[in-house]
Amino acid sequence: MAAPLRGIAIAMAVFFALGAVVNLPAGRVLTGGACAAGTLAGLAAWAMVRRGASLQWSASLSFYAMALVVTALLWAGNGTRDYGLAGYPAVLFLGCVFLATAAYWGLAACVLVAVTLIAVAEINGLKPVPGPPTDFRALFNLWLIMGASAVGGRVLMQAVRSALTREQNLSGALKTSQERLSKLLSTSPNAIVVSRFSDGTYLEVNDAFLAMFGYTREEVVGRTSLQLGVWESAHERERFIAPLRDGEALRDFETRQRRKNGDWIELSLSAEHMDLDGVECLLISATDISARRAAERRAEFLSTRDALTGLPNRVLALDRLQQAMARARLSGGHVAVLHVDLDRFKAINDAVGRAQGDAVLRETCARLEHLLKEGDTLARIGGNEFLVVTPLAGQAEAKALGEAMLSAIDVPYDAGGRPLRVTTCIGVSLFPEDSPDAETLLLCADTAVHEAKAEGRARVCLYANVMGERVQDRLLVESSLRDSLTGGGLTLAYQPKFDVRSRTITGVEALARWNHAKLGSVPPSVFIAIAEESDLICDLGHWVLKEACAQIAQWRELGLPALPIAVNLSARQITPTLPAQLFSCARDRGVAPDMLELEVTETMLIARPESSRKVLEQVTRHGNRIVLDDFGVGYSSMAYVKLLHLNGIKIDRSFVADVVADRHDRAIVSAIVGLAHGLGLKVVAEGVETEDQLDALEELGCDEAQGFLLCRPISGERLASDILERGVGRR
């Protein structure tokens, strides 16, 4: 209904505007002015209909405006033409009113009264213009115009009436579809809103909306979302409405809105445009995603948290460090990273049990947290490793904090009624002094903690600049070594082991050698240590195994006597995949298992005794022999020796070095030999450099010896030509 009404109001305005244009320049000010007023009335009616004003209101406004024009013309009496001019729009206008109010006959009477008034005025000379109405042509014209107006009005009325009927049918249909819509609204589980696009006024909401937001319908309909305060901010509403301005629909806009009681509710909004009674509206559907978001947040929390303590994990700690660094950059401050590593925690866990171990870790968190200020981050980045990120004034303060932490941890713990002492090492790195990069700062703190451990337990070590070079070197060595593993540069040297009494070769030890194009010859003490810090050692270890098997096969092809090769294993290699790896390396070269011996160290076994035991048991069952390397420098626990089904032990060269001069070392070697023999193990002494040492070892009952005195590590070819060709016999 609004569209044809708007059209008629515009037609009225245009018509009066024409009247004004004709009359004003001709000096008929009053008529022109009245027409101008009629124009304004038409425009006002148009505007009112457009803004959704009731038809009665707009019709009344127009009616009064028209009455004003007619009265003005009657009063002014500017001549017959003017009456005609006035009469025609009067009829047209009353047609509008008729259309608007559907009061057909009453308004038709109005038309009649108005026309009659004009005629009577003309005939009786009521107009101020003197003289009787002698101008019959003008009178004829007037009646002609009035007649034409009446007919025109009648035709218009009929046209409008049929239009109205159509409109009514249409609105009937619309009513049905509106009923359907409201049914849909009432049954939808989602909150649904119909709001005016221009200002966001709620025109319709469903029950689900009212339940979701806690309002009554009266409180909502007719008000805007901003008035209700559902949006977090006007900016957030703008973010929602902006894409809709292009006429597009919007899907899954995630936001949060305020309920009547002030609580927040997380929503996913979808919106599309719709025309409701000629008014441009938005049909908005809101799904409550609070539960889903809460689950997502929980998952996110767990992915960034340590399950035992609820502390941030390494990922989150890194993020917090980056944020702290960004703030420090602006303020010119410093940020310290403290890497706290509890000493020998594995042994503690084994001693007091896992539950007590967890309690100690939680207690440690509490003690550390007690020393931190608001905004600092305490994270757990490993079983017994914590990280603290704290903005502070500089090195001295960082060191003081580290020492306070040492003291806090030094206080004995209560392990089920027994006092338990835990010591720790702390490595500290500082931003911006040590690095502008967060990852590198963590690496620096890690390096510092290793340094602290190397210096002895229970201490704080600040990452010094000189260590920076070490890190740089380390990264370079690591990447170069990775390249060499595939591109060449690595070789194996073989150092023979001899039977102490017969002085014949019993086997060789494979030792990795690395000659890099740029770095030159890098000693194993350097590159093995660096490889140990990552999984690179596993790749290296695998390469050594394949190479050693290839060497055995090559010697066999040369027709040389079979000589077992011992390879050094890293702790990281002792995983459940090791037996399969060994098996496939040996099978590929047709090597018998007893030709491959494995050298393991105690420290690697202590870290994971149970899992290591299982893996090594499988390995020995398969036929490979296992020797405990560097015996005497670690925990020297015969318990492990027994547990691991070893075949032999290698006495560390530090004991061999002083076996002649130091009677304690002599006694230790003697004891080790006695114990080992008692367990049925062979004893190898490594690092034999003098004849005296060899004699002493023979006297103490050692079975085999290895050292520079007997033979330095040499290449496979040299070993073949120098020794093997002379037979596996005396050196």
Which lies closer to Mg ion via its Cβ, residue 443 or residue 646?
A: 646
Rg (CA), the chain: 50
Which lies closer to ligand C2E via its Cβ, residue 429 or residue 693?
A: 693
Q: How many CA atoms lie within 13 A of 21 on its CB side?
A: 7
Please give the residue ranges that form the binding site for ligand C2E (CB under 6 A).
495, 511-512, 523-525, 528, 541, 544, 568-570, 599, 629-630, 653, 686-689, 706-708, 713
8 A C-beta contact, residue 709 and residue 692? no
Which lies closer to ligand C2E via its Cβ, residue 153 or residue 632?
A: 632
CB of 552 to ligand C2E, least distance (A): 15
* 204, interface contact from ligand C2E, Mg ion, none, CB < 5-8 Å by kind: none
CB of 693 to Mg ion, least distance (A): 15
Say how far apart CA 299 and CA 150 lie, in whole Å.
Answer: 79
* 147, interface contact from ligand C2E, Mg ion, none, CB < 5-8 Å by kind: none
| DSSP secondary structure letters along 417-432 | TEEE---EEEEEEEET
Q: Which of 456, 331, 341 is nearest to 388 (CA)?
A: 341
* 78, interface contact from ligand C2E, Mg ion, none, CB < 5-8 Å by kind: none
Say how far apart CA 207 and CA 223 lie, in whole Å.
Answer: 17
* 495, interface contact from ligand C2E, Mg ion, none, CB < 5-8 Å by kind: ligand C2E
Q: How many C-beta neighbours within 10 Å does residue 640 have?
A: 18
Q: Helix, strand or coil for residue 659? A: coil
* 644, interface contact from Mg ion, ligand C2E, none, CB < 5-8 Å by kind: none
CB of 580 to ligand C2E, least distance (A): 19
Say how far apart CA 134 and CA 640 lie, in whole Å.
Answer: 140
Q: Helix, strand or coil for residue 586? A: helix
Q: Which of 612, 593, 611, 594 is nearest to 602 (CA)?
A: 612
Which lies closer to ligand C2E via its Cβ, residue 388 or residue 477?
A: 477
- Order of strands, sheet of 424-431, starting from the edge strand that comes earlier in the sequence: 377-382, 385-392, 334-342, 424-431, 459-462
* 544, interface contact from ligand C2E, Mg ion, none, CB < 5-8 Å by kind: ligand C2E
* 707, interface contact from Mg ion, ligand C2E, none, CB < 5-8 Å by kind: ligand C2E
Say how far apart CA 87 and CA 144 lie, in whole Å.
Answer: 11
* 195, interface contact from Mg ion, ligand C2E, none, CB < 5-8 Å by kind: none
**Residues in CB range of 163: below 8 A, 6 or more apart:** 4
CB closest to Mg ion, residue no: 599
How far is C-alpha 490 from the chain's CA centre?
Answer: 42
8 A C-beta contact, residue 221 and residue 202? yes
* 528, interface contact from ligand C2E, Mg ion, none, CB < 5-8 Å by kind: ligand C2E
Q: Is the dihedral of CA 301, 306, 312, 313 positive or negative?
A: negative
Among all chains, which residue has been given the structure tokens 């931190």?
Answer: 372
CB of 649 to ligand C2E, least distance (A): 12
Which lies closer to Mg ion via its Cβ, residue 269 or residue 510?
A: 510
CB of 268 to ligand C2E, least distance (A): 55
CB of 490 to Mg ion, least distance (A): 17
* 561, interface contact from ligand C2E, Mg ion, none, CB < 5-8 Å by kind: none
Tokens of 97: 């009113």
CB of 331 to Mg ion, least distance (A): 52
CB of 517 to Mg ion, least distance (A): 27
* 511, interface contact from ligand C2E, Mg ion, none, CB < 5-8 Å by kind: ligand C2E
8 A C-beta contact, residue 481 and residue 517? no
Angle at 159 between CA 153 and CA 165, to 5 degrees: 130
Which lies closer to ligand C2E via its Cβ, residue 327 or residue 712?
A: 712
Q: Is the peptide bond before 25 cis (omega within 30 degrees of 0)?
A: no
Which lies closer to Mg ion via its Cβ, residue 57 or residue 635?
A: 635
CB of 506 to ligand C2E, least distance (A): 15
How far is C-alpha 414 from the chain's CA centre?
Answer: 40
CB of 551 to ligand C2E, least distance (A): 13
Which lies closer to Mg ion via its Cβ, residue 547 or residue 686?
A: 686
CB of 536 to ligand C2E, least distance (A): 11
Among all chains, which residue has been given the structure tokens 């690591």?
Answer: 478
CB of 347 to ligand C2E, least distance (A): 23
Say how far apart CA 423 and CA 493 lie, in whole Å.
Answer: 41
Among all chains, which residue has been given the structure tokens 């004891």?
Answer: 671
* 104, interface contact from Mg ion, ligand C2E, none, CB < 5-8 Å by kind: none
Q: Which of 302, 286, 213 is nearest to 253 (CA)?
A: 286
Q: How many CA atoms lie within 13 A of 659 on its CB side?
A: 31
Among all chains, which residue has been given the structure tokens 């201490």?
Answer: 459
CB of 696 to ligand C2E, least distance (A): 14
Say how far apart CA 164 and CA 50 lie, in whole Å.
Answer: 18
Tokens of 519: 């770095």
Which lies closer to Mg ion via its Cβ, residue 341 or residue 686?
A: 686
* 524, interface contact from Mg ion, ligand C2E, none, CB < 5-8 Å by kind: ligand C2E
Which lies closer to ligand C2E via its Cβ, residue 2 or residue 526?
A: 526
- What's the one-letter identity of residue 716? G
8 A C-beta contact, residue 39 and residue 17? yes
* 704, interface contact from Mg ion, ligand C2E, none, CB < 5-8 Å by kind: none
Which lies closer to ligand C2E via its Cβ, residue 269 or residue 545?
A: 545
Tokens of 294: 């809460």
CB of 342 to Mg ion, least distance (A): 28
Is residue 448 packed enough to be buried (19+ CB in 10 Å), middle (13-18) or exposed (0-12)?
buried
Which lies closer to ligand C2E via its Cβ, residue 91 or residue 548?
A: 548
Which lies closer to ligand C2E via its Cβ, residue 172 or residue 523?
A: 523
Element (H, E) at 29: helix 29-50
Which lies closer to Mg ion via its Cβ, residue 579 or residue 713?
A: 713
Q: Which of 710, 683, 711 is nearest to 699 (CA)?
A: 683
Please give the residue ranges that form the binding site for Mg ion (CB under 5 A).
568, 599, 629-630, 686
CB of 599 to Mg ion, least distance (A): 4
* 689, interface contact from ligand C2E, Mg ion, none, CB < 5-8 Å by kind: ligand C2E
Which lies closer to ligand C2E via its Cβ, residue 365 or residue 569?
A: 569
